[in-house]
Structure 1
């Protein structure tokens, strides 16, 4: 599970940097400032959770079962939250509507929140000798 968390975290961080650079240097010519701001929000939350995945992998007091749960919640949350924002904010570039994704974004956000709650709960309830 540690390797899976590290790989996912690094891949999400890598793509966040690439998408951040795209937003900073290329997208400003094609989308409005508000759309760019939304795009940057997706990048920011992707990076936060990429780093969180890496951190979760490295914390020994978190059980593998909890790591697996957090992996699925954060990974699903990043995909639903950030990717839906990327598509919604760049829809005008593709001459299409991704408005059906509007309800997907908060579901992704809720999965991210639940991941943090699970992590908090498991750390608070940890009664091991090393805590």
Structure 2
């Protein structure tokens, strides 16, 4: 296993772990501190947090399975990671602080996630047929 594969598997796993912890915290004790109208925002953050951790793990496995050489600075994975952190991070902060500026950051993270998908599609498209 290359250092890049190992690093990305650890990153995806840490994201998955933290999403479960934050989801449990939201379900068991944060509801006392979050306003009723922000509970849905928090749940959306947890849901996308978990989705993106699984997506990162699956993309790494696809790259590894296809014997694609990639570094720790893989554009699709970097856009997925930083886009996710901005997207669900801003939603977590919005739900906890009620500062509307954080809500304005979510679309930036969303666009970065879209770019991650564009790069992922490009990588898959560029694979020679005999490597599938």
1:66-85 equivalence runs, <5 A: 68-85=74-91
Q: Distance in 2 between matches of 1:100 and 1:35?
A: 14
For these two proteins, the number of residue pairs brought into alignment is 126
> Would the alpha carbon gap of residues 43 and 36 (structure 1) be closer, same or farther in structure 2, given more than 3 Å must change?
same
| 5+ residue gaps, structure 1 | 93-97
Give 1:41 deviation, angstroms: 0.7
Contact 1:5–1:53 (8 Å) recurs in 2: yes
Q: Distance in 1 between matches of 2:51 and 2:122?
A: 20
Give 1:128 deviation, angstroms: 4.0
Contact 2:9–2:60 (8 Å) recurs in 1: yes
Contact 2:76–2:118 (8 Å) recurs in 1: no
Give deviations 1:12-34, integer Å, cap 9, x for gaps: 00000000001111122222333
Q: Secondary structure at the match of 2:127?
A: coil
Q: Secondary structure at the match of 2:85?
A: helix
RMSD over aligned Cα atoms: 1.9
Q: Does 1:56 align with 2:62?
A: no
Q: Distance in 2 between matches of 1:109 and 1:126?
A: 26
Q: Distance in 1 between matches of 2:37 and 2:122?
A: 36
> What corresponds to 2:115 in structure 1?
114
Q: TM-score, normalised to structure 1's length?
A: 0.86
Q: TM-score, normalised to structure 2's length?
A: 0.85
Contact 2:8–2:72 (8 Å) recurs in 1: no
| 5+ residue gaps, structure 2 | none
Q: Does 1:28 align with 2:31?
A: yes
Return 55-64 or 38-47, whichever deviates more.
Answer: 55-64
